[in-house]
Chains A and B, each alone.
Chain A
Amino acid sequence: MAKYIGKRILMFIPMALLMSFLIFGGMELTPGDFVSNMISPDMAANMTPDELNVLREAYGLNDPFLIRYVKWLGQIFQGNWGYSLSSGVPVKDIILQRLPVTLELALTGLVISAILGSVLGIVSALKRGSLLDHTLTLAGVIGMSIPQFFFGMVAILLFALNWKIFPVGGRTTPDMVHWWEHLRYLVLPALVLGVTQTASVMRYSRASMMDSMHKDFVKAARSKGLPEWRVNLVHGFRVSMTPVVVLLALRLPMLVSSSVVIENVFQWPGIGVTFKEAVSAGNYPLVMMIALIIVIMVLIISLVLDILTRVLDPRVRLE
């Protein structure tokens, strides 16, 4: 087990370096250079071109590409992530401020889709071939075919504009007293995000459940005379959940992509809105650093989930 974890972490490091290398290469292709990206615009405005040139020399802008990459990586590790071109705020501050807001929405959406998807998938597998099963399968295909933002727009129209149950968008109001008041703002975007992710989780958990229902241990449990609900829910369900957890890990990149869209539909002030604004304003350092942070996070989480599923799977533990 320890050997596997070590191997997996050793595989993670070159991946992360390759990612950062690609991002750095992308930064080189955009206008502006190291100095103008790394120094706050306020400071740069007070400097003479000569002073800037000294700085360029000091940062080694005349060095070859690879050496510049190593130096840039060193800066990242020291916590200098560059400055936003539009506001002059350090990129690190922006990311640290926006990231928790995004996680709040994305994790709620993930939980909703995981619960809804696996429950519906299992019900559909248990009632295989019934009207309910066909309806759910059809609803799943329809759900995968509707653009997420379109779904979000319709949800805003119905729940916020027509019935006025939830606010149209945003996350907080200035006159908020208790923290839980903003949960009202979370409900609609999280539901939309969760429901749009549900279809594929449902498809997968249905297939997984049907697969495990034909396994020998389920037959053994049934022949012991256990009640049917125990056979299905305890013996079948537990085993069929492992691939679903793997699926959730695999779908993580998709969750990030969707939450960028959903954040923009509901003007949820997370990293997705910041990212979209940075792309449309050509705010290169911000775009690249957000991309890098998101990719590294996705890598780390899938690493952890990979190890976790290994630990949870009894067949591996025996080795």
Chain B
Amino acid sequence: MTFGEKRFHKKLDKIRRLEEEGVLAKKKKGSRALSKFMSNKMAMLGLVIFTIIFLACIFAPLLTSYRPEVVDLTNLMKPPSKDHIFGTDKVGRDLFARVLYGGRVSILVAGGGALGGALIGVLVGSFAGYRGGWLDKITMRLSEVFMSFPQLILVLVMVTIMGQSTRNIIIIFVITGWSGIYRQARAAMLSIREEEYVQALHAFGLNDMLICFKHMLPNALSPIIVNITINIAAFILEEASLSFLGLGVPMEVATWGNILNASQDMYTLQNAWWIWLPVGVVISLFVMSINFVGDGVRDTTDSSIQG
């Protein structure tokens, strides 16, 4: 018996012993990827923070009785107190309500933009990658154009053309955000295209659409999901930057960026920390939690990355 074989038998013995003790039976329950994700502390922390902020925004009316747009001229720039836990802003609006209701719009804009862009990117990218030919060439060139535009410049040019509104900002995010996902989907399909099962399906004379979207796409999906989460985080930051410049969602709608926009002046910065600090922390925490979750999903699904 060589050394290698000896080691192999030792391993088998260990597995048999574990089985007899009933350890393995317990371990097998649940998906392996899920248990790997659950044991990733950072990812779980991210998931918890994300869920708390997300649910708090959705159930905003249950958590606060104030409305985000109601002006109260008797309570201008009040620091946090029992009545207003995040204090009030320059025109007496309750900041806790603004952060919660603003989160709804910010998450809607970023999530809508990222998911819409992902839908276009996945559909076009997987079909172009699978079929190749002129469709592939044209869409590839187009994505190169979108990639070499600095994102913010492109977004601002489109804001100039389309005008500012919540709906337009979502559309603009979709148009500017599809290219990254498109490239990823295309690359994945290019490598899967040569696999034997695809050739077999081809030989059976199966419909191209069925092969592409039903049989190939599911195998390319997990890195794309990671990319979508990264896009959502990036769009949250971008919405905030746009609103900070005063060029995003119109100022009268409360969003995380618009709340920060209202606190740009030096007086507020120095004397009313409660106007800008909580929102800034909430945005950062939210984006960070998405990044942690995205990293966690990547670590559990991508076998090439370890540690």
Query: Is B287 on the interface with A (CB-CB < 8 A)?
Result: yes
Contact A295 B160, beta carbon cutoff 8 Å: no
Query: Is A204 on the interface with B (CB-CB < 8 A)?
Result: no
Contact digits for B234-262, partner A, Cβ 8 Å, 1 yes 0 no: 00010011001111000000000000100
Q: In the bound complex, how far is the Cα of B287 from the Cα of A304, in angstroms?
A: 34
The interface centre, meaning the residue of B145, B148, B269, B283 with most chain A CB atoms within 10 A of its CB, is: B148
**Residues of the B chain whose Cβ atoms lie less than 8 Å from the Cβ of A287:** 156-157, 160
Which of these binds chain B: A15-23, A41-49, A178-186, A308-316?
A15-23
**Residues of the B chain whose Cβ atoms lie less than 8 Å from the Cβ of A256:** 150, 152-153
**Residues of the B chain whose Cβ atoms lie less than 8 Å from the Cβ of A239:** none
**Residues of the A chain whose Cβ atoms lie less than 8 Å from the Cβ of B307:** 128-129
Query: Is B149 on the interface with A (CB-CB < 8 A)?
Result: yes
Instruction: For residue A20, give the distance in angstroms from its CB to the closest CB of chain B.
Output: 11
Query: Is B270 on the interface with A (CB-CB < 8 A)?
Result: yes
Q: In the bound complex, how far is the Cα of B287 from the Cα of A38, in angstroms?
A: 44
Query: Is B284 on the interface with A (CB-CB < 8 A)?
Result: yes
- Among A30, A145, A261, A280, contact of B284 (Cβ-Cβ < 8 Å): A145
Contact B153 A150, beta carbon cutoff 8 Å: no
Contact B269 A148, beta carbon cutoff 8 Å: no
Contact B145 A15, beta carbon cutoff 8 Å: yes
Q: In the bound complex, how far is the Cα of B245 from the Cα of A147, in angstroms?
A: 13
Contact B151 A257, beta carbon cutoff 8 Å: yes
Contact B148 A257, beta carbon cutoff 8 Å: no
Q: Tally B residues with Cβ within 8 Å of A.
A: 40
Q: In the bound complex, how far is the Cα of B307 from the Cα of A149, in angstroms?
A: 32
Q: In the bound complex, how far is the Cα of B234 from the Cα of A148, in angstroms?
A: 12
Instruction: For residue B205, give the distance in angstroms from its CB to the closest CB of chain A.
Output: 38
**Residues of the B chain whose Cβ atoms lie less than 8 Å from the Cβ of A161:** 266, 269-270
Contact B160 A298, beta carbon cutoff 8 Å: no
A26-B157, A153-B276, A276-B247 known; A294-B150 Cβ under 8 A:
yes
Contact B284 A147, beta carbon cutoff 8 Å: yes
**Residues of the B chain whose Cβ atoms lie less than 8 Å from the Cβ of A144:** 287, 291
Tell me the chain A residues, 189-221 only, with Cβ under 8 Å from chain B.
Answer: none
**Residues of the A chain whose Cβ atoms lie less than 8 Å from the Cβ of B53:** none
- Among B160, B260, B270, contact of A284 (Cβ-Cβ < 8 Å): B160
Query: Is B44 on the interface with A (CB-CB < 8 A)?
Result: no
- Among A147, A261, A288, contact of B157 (Cβ-Cβ < 8 Å): A288
Q: In the bound complex, how far is the Cα of B284 from the Cα of A302, in angstroms?
A: 31
Contact A275 B156, beta carbon cutoff 8 Å: yes
**Residues of the B chain whose Cβ atoms lie less than 8 Å from the Cβ of A264:** 244-245
24 contacts between A and B (CB under 8 A): A26-B160, A142-B284, A144-B287, A145-B291, A146-B280, A146-B287, A147-B244, A149-B244, A153-B264, A253-B148, A254-B150, A256-B152, A256-B153, A257-B153, A260-B150, A260-B245, A261-B152, A261-B245, A279-B157, A288-B157, A291-B156, A294-B153, A298-B150, A302-B148
